[in-house]
Structure 1
């Protein structure tokens, strides 16, 4: 067991630290640390978990802004994926049940959705194997049906969601073209395994993809960005290609030209991973088993670029919202602030 296997949950503290959002706005402005909060009480079918690590996702920023598809009652605690510990000492990963999110010392989760943490990964890495990698797996395999030898174009390839798609694409035998913004992120994308890296700040993305594919275009496009990235996707996709829309980190929701999809003969696929929890939860568990196998083989390893203490969670969410991070930023309650 990775992390700190010697520590087990013997009892729940009478009070805890937790970040609360009382009104909507930018994360750095509306997240407030409560150092004397009551630990959450699990409801029917739920379990309480001591948080070992909570990863920051872009939807955490959307929650703070009131722009996420789910709006928990105010005040709430953000933090959508954690590695936690059950009261009997089992190390697990879960998506906390809002309003009791992961940026706290304790969270609650639906018992049926709790999954065993992969032993090959430490706490922060294990937490990161959940939303981003599940999203990537469902997008590439369930929706796009990617095949070995195909070309996969990944937007925001150095980010938390994009980096997972890069690794999963390589594990599936695809040739991966990663689009990034800036030289530092380009270096990260190369380290992740991208066969071709395109810096959108200095290169023409469409021309670069066409050059990398001999004019054919990408068979599968993974787009968590939207906006201008989607427009580039439509111009870069191959005959019978598939564009998988997984998010709109740019803040701009595009309006696809369906006549263009008809003329070029490509598919536009949406992915809302959270729906599988209610529509087909067995697929989520099957996916977790496969991801655990890939982690044990070393085929995937979440990129955790920062590990910060609980006191720095609001600043971490703001950095992710501003698009200046790479990989995942993990909030570790027991991490100490260093000078």
Structure 2
């Protein structure tokens, strides 16, 4: 009986690999289920190997098989995305996206790579203070490339609902890109509710100014910046990429970011997962009705024009914090203006799909990000 009840619990958990999480803690569990599916696959196999004389044995076996299939679904679906990914990228960005020299990822996704890993030795960052205010100092974690020549620089803007997080968030991709020849600067910025949207955006500008001023020491090619943001940080990265002029910004990478703050206010998240009204009001300092122009000014989609930089969007369809429709709408706007862009859609994935660099979402996004960087920086 106990075996059957545990297997039934596994089946309920496996539903998070297919359906959106209905509650905050279940969203966290969904990140684990879809980012580390092999753990749950292994548990299912162990239960199937356990034989008992219970009358629930057959029912338990059948339930475990169904759970196993659901836990495997992110893997199968990742392969379906991977099959067409090189061709799709080539169609948008050209042949330079296909064959990269000495590339560790031979294919967009590999089941074995979930165990062996796609990364390597972690790069230890240097920490610099790029801006000091009377009440706070802002830092950059700089993942340096040992090189005799200046290299493109990826500026990483962390997520955290504009009120949390820091420059040490999800360092795996930073190390990976540094090993692949990019200088990577992961930045702090002032956080809500004490500070508002314009101040956070100002900090992104200050960080770029600092990197340009120290380009000789840090070996940065100041004509080759790419902004990369996650969630709330993606909103800042997109807004900076579309509004900063003459900063050498060649592209922007948007990981599941809110591209339209007006749309986001009127199509909020499930309040059991995230009170998005509260989050946006803390960041912008008012409700939409009180400050309509502020919401519009903070919406990257409303700043897109025909001269906007190439854009890479990465989003899971089961995202319960930032609707997948943000990226769909942004893509439609970019397409209508002839701006090069690509939306990597992960049908099974939720918010934080790249949490595990070796997981299905992590492998596919890393493969895509590197090829995008290779093209837009002419590296």
TM-score by length of 2: 0.31
Greater C-alpha radius of gyration: 2
TM-score by length of 1: 0.33
More strand by share: 1
